[in-house]
Chain A
Amino acid sequence: MKKATAFRRDRVAHGGKTIYGARVGILMLDTLFPRIPGDMCNALTWPFPVLFKVVRGATAARVAERSQGMREDFMVAAEELVAEGADGITTNCGFLALYQDELTERCGVPVAASSLMQIPLIERLFPPGKRAGIVTVSTVTLDADHLKAAGARPDTPVAGTENGREFHRFMHENDVKMDVAAAEQDLLDAGRDLVTRHPEVGAVVLECTNMTPYARAMSEALALPVYDIYSFVCWFHAGLAPRDFGHPGSARREWRG
């Protein structure tokens, strides 16, 4: 009898939100271009479930021009994701480092707004003199404000795809068709440009969440580590939902979503 009572106490489940098991909520720009596996907004990319929310009217162009009217739409969407069940918030655009502080304030949950936030940690892996370098969709858009908001130094080496053949084009035009091989070439060109101009670069950070499918190819082409929104959000999630390694480390306990 005593044993049975203890067993039941170990099996209490606690609620308080609507959806469980998807700990990370992703705020998405309003786009129609293809999002292939590896892209943050292809659900197959993630080895764990996530919640998506499209911020209607949030076009890439409006993000680039820092439209103020859009800001509140992102905050409201983030609050909705948390109410639904997200225990952490991220976004599908590296430039939204600008929203990091306001998002944490409004949501009350941890926020990993931009891949660029990994830069200080990456630089600690190397001896002094080795740097992290950024590959961004557009060096015209990326400025000192984004870097500062992400905790990165203003002189962080940067290369962009804006003069390439495809990667910048399909996003800028919101084209429903893209040439994946050509986009990959743009990324590799930008990576080579980065390390040629900045031989001190010891690891690359991809600003844009559409770049993840090519991280592997870039790492092999440059023989350097490459960090992106995938590495960042997998790390983020590892803390939000630490893995249960089973016996003997874990015993029956109460359950919380």
Chain B
Amino acid sequence: MMKGMKRRDVEGRSAGGGMAPRRAFGGKTVYGARVGILVLDSPYPRIPGDTGNALTWPFPVLYKVVRGATASRVVGGKAKGLLGAFLDNATELVEMGADGITTSCGFLSLYQAELAAHCGVPVAASSLMQVPAVAGLLPPGKTVGVITVSASDLTAEHLTAAGAPTDTPVVGADGWPFLEEPKDTRPAIDIAHCEDLVLNAGRDLVARHPAVGAVVLECTRMVPFASALSAETGLPVYDIYSFVSWFHAGLAPRDFGHPGSAPGDWREL
């Protein structure tokens, strides 16, 4: 045992073993939650799978609600007048401990550039930013299609800000209930109805655009239905869950343990 330790010390390879210092470095308030999520101001339920349900994530996250940023203002009103609020809240998340920023609305691709320039940390504002990467996976002649809460509100400006081609096929889940002004402080939503809207939009997308080879979901509330949509259409489905999980994988690369990060020999039979 002692002999082994000595050998490693002599060779200078004891990355964290025996005599190595065990200093820890600070500089922020909260640790371990690397992604900060800017959440729209909405009283509607956020079920498991939704960005705003903490159980969705296989890693801890930090949340910040942007008061006044309602779905109708962000989706229908192009988030006009809300930039300052988003930037201020993003700064607070970074000061608290976030090493990357995302949002709870795909339409906020509009603020990707401003958020990235302002925060000083990487920003993954919108699921739509995956469109070019998904397109790169597909066979020639196949394209990426988008399902959004409102096709009429999703403009070329939103797509361009996400790096997606402006001729990307887009279908809306018309009648998406989360866009309505809530009439209640604890409003109820029929989740089965939401799933139907997403599946119908998916069927519509592939019927109108047979070249679609994969789907990207704009809305962070559609994640719970991605599995059903993939089974229904037979296509891969990417969403804010796949995007932020990837984002986090780079912010906090997994530690695979021995022997990659500890001393000692390793063999497998």
Write the residues of chain A forming the contact surface with B, with a CB cutoff of 8 angstroms: 34, 36-38, 45, 87-88, 100-101, 104-105, 107-112, 117-118, 120-122, 124-127, 151, 179-182, 184-185, 202-203, 212-219, 225-228, 230-232, 234-236, 238-251, 253-256
Not counting A180-B260, A245-B56, a sample of 19 additional A-B residue pairs whose C-beta atoms are within 8 angstroms of each other reads: A105-B139, A118-B133, A122-B250, A126-B116, A181-B11, A181-B15, A212-B253, A215-B254, A217-B15, A225-B251, A230-B249, A230-B253, A231-B249, A235-B243, A239-B237, A243-B226, A249-B225, A251-B228, A256-B234
Q: Nearest Cβ in chain A — how far from B257, in angstroms?
A: 6
Q: Nearest Cβ in chain B — how far from A52, in angstroms?
A: 15
Q: Nearest Cβ in chain A — how far from B58, in angstroms?
A: 9
Question: In the complex, A217→B138 CA distance in Å?
Answer: 33
Known contacts A36-B266, A124-B163, A127-B117; A225 and B48 CB within 8 A of each other: no
Assess whether A251 is in contact with B133, with CB atoms less than 8 Å apart. Answer: no
Question: In the complex, A173→B265 CA distance in Å?
Answer: 20
Q: Which residue of A lies closest to B56 (CB)?
A: A245
Q: Nearest Cβ in chain B — how far from A168, in angstroms?
A: 17
Q: Nearest Cβ in chain B — how far from A104, in angstroms?
A: 4
Chain B residues with CB below 8 A from A203, complex form:
122, 250
Assess whether A225 is in contact with B122, with CB atoms less than 8 Å apart. Answer: yes
Chain B residues with CB below 8 A from A250, complex form:
195, 224-225, 227-228
Question: In the complex, A246→B253 CA distance in Å?
Answer: 27
Interface residues of B in 220-269 (CB under 8 A from A): 223-231, 234, 236-239, 241-243, 245-247, 249-261, 263, 266-267
Question: In the complex, A212→B257 CA distance in Å?
Answer: 12
B75 at interface by CB-CB < 8 Å: no
B18 at interface by CB-CB < 8 Å: no
Chain B residues with CB below 8 A from A218, complex form:
253
Q: Which residue of B lies closest to A182 (CB)?
A: B13
Which residue of A108, A151, A215, A244 is within 8 Å of B253 (Cβ)? Answer: A215
Assess whether A121 is in contact with B251, with CB atoms less than 8 Å apart. Answer: no
B129 at interface by CB-CB < 8 Å: yes
Known contacts A37-B260, A104-B140, A240-B236; A125 and B247 CB within 8 A of each other: yes
Assess whether A212 is in contact with B256, with CB atoms less than 8 Å apart. Answer: yes
Q: Which residue of A lies closest to B49 (CB)?
A: A245
Q: Which residue of B lies closest to A254 (CB)?
A: B231
Q: Which of B123, B243, B261 counts the most A-chain CB atoms under 10 A from its CB? A: B261
B79 at interface by CB-CB < 8 Å: no
Q: Which residue of A lies closest to B229 (CB)?
A: A242
Residue tally, chain B, CB below 8 Å to A: 70
Q: Nearest Cβ in chain A — how far from B34, in angstroms?
A: 9
Assess whether A38 is in contact with B133, with CB atoms less than 8 Å apart. Answer: no
Q: Which 6 A-B pairs have the closest CB atoms?
A: A249-B224, A213-B260, A38-B256, A181-B13, A245-B49, A238-B242
Q: Using an 8 Å CB-CB cutoff, how does the interface string of B9-30 with A read, 1 for contact, 0 for none?
A: 0010111000000000000000
B83 at interface by CB-CB < 8 Å: no
Q: Nearest Cβ in chain B — how far from A15, in angstroms?
A: 14
Known contacts A37-B260, A181-B13; A248 and B116 CB within 8 A of each other: no
Assess whether B250 is in contact with A225, with CB atoms less than 8 Å apart. Answer: yes
Chain A residues with CB below 8 A from B85, complex form:
none
Assess whether A104 is in contact with B139, with CB atoms less than 8 Å apart. Answer: yes
Assess whether A124 is in contact with B129, with CB atoms less than 8 Å apart. Answer: yes
Assess whether A248 is in contact with B191, with CB atoms less than 8 Å apart. Answer: yes
Chain A residues with CB below 8 A from B100, complex form:
125, 225
Q: Which of B123, B230, B236 counts the most A-chain CB atoms under 10 A from its CB? A: B236
Known contacts A45-B256, A245-B48; A251 and B195 CB within 8 A of each other: yes
Q: Nearest Cβ in chain A — how far from B130, in angstroms?
A: 7
Q: Nearest Cβ in chain A — how far from B18, in angstroms?
A: 13
Which residue of B11, B47, B243 is within 8 Å of A245 (Cβ)? Answer: B47
Q: Nearest Cβ in chain A — how far from B246, in angstroms?
A: 4
Assess whether B253 is in contact with A219, with CB atoms less than 8 Å apart. Answer: yes
A-B CB contact pairs (8 Å), 28 listed: A38-B260, A45-B256, A104-B140, A109-B139, A125-B247, A126-B122, A180-B260, A181-B8, A215-B253, A219-B253, A226-B253, A230-B249, A231-B246, A232-B246, A234-B249, A235-B245, A235-B246, A236-B137, A238-B246, A239-B236, A240-B236, A242-B226, A242-B242, A245-B48, A248-B191, A249-B49, A250-B225, A256-B234
